[in-house]
């Protein structure tokens, strides 16, 4: 599957990266439950229910990494889109005129 510019929609490396992160998240959650029991001298048993409870978190990690890798591959600057743009919009002077005037009229009516 390719996009209109001839590049593939995503690289296989993106799937591998996302799978590695999902595995790290999954096993770190399991170890987070088992290590305290081992350190206190108790046995650590991981039941199938424990495994099933951790799978959605690993799936979310997989999806987030895959989306961020895809966006970076497509040239989308996620850091700027998520962090810089809201900071710029927080300043009152950068708001659109209609919003700025509406906010000024609300301030005048409440005082």
Do 56 and 7 lie in a common domain? Answer: yes
Which pTM does this prediction carry? Answer: 0.61
Q: Count up the domains in the chain and report the number.
A: 2
In which residue are the tokens 């700025």 written?
100
Residues 71, 87 within the same domain: no
* Residue 104: φ, ψ to 5°: -65, -40
Q: List the domain range (segments joined by +) for residue 68.
A: 1-76
pLDDT tens per residue across span 44-100: 888 899 889 999 999 999 999 988 888 888 777 777 767 766 565 555 555 566 665
CB crowding 39-73: b at 16 or more within 10 Å, else e: eeeeeeeeeeeeeeebeeebeebbeebbebbeeee
11: three-class secondary structure by DSSP: coil
Note whether 66 and 100 are same-domain residues: no
Do 17 and 49 share a domain, yes or no?
A: yes
pLDDT score of 107 more than 70: no
- pLDDT for 7 beyond 80: no
């Amino acid at each position: 599957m390719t996009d209109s510019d001839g590049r593939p929609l995503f690289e296989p490396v993106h799937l591998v990266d996302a799978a590695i992160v999902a595995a790290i998240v999954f096993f770190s959650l399991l170890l987070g439950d088992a290590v305290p029991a081992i350190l206190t001298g108790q046995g650590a048993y991981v039941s199938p229910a424990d495994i099933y409870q951790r799978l959605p978190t690993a799936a979310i990690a997989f999806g987030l990494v895959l989306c961020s890798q895809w966006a970076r591959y497509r040239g989308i600057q996620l850091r700027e889109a998520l962090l810089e743009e809201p900071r710029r919009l927080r300043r009152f002077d950068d708001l659109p005129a209609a919003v700025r005037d509406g906010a000024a009229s609300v301030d005048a009516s409440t005082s």
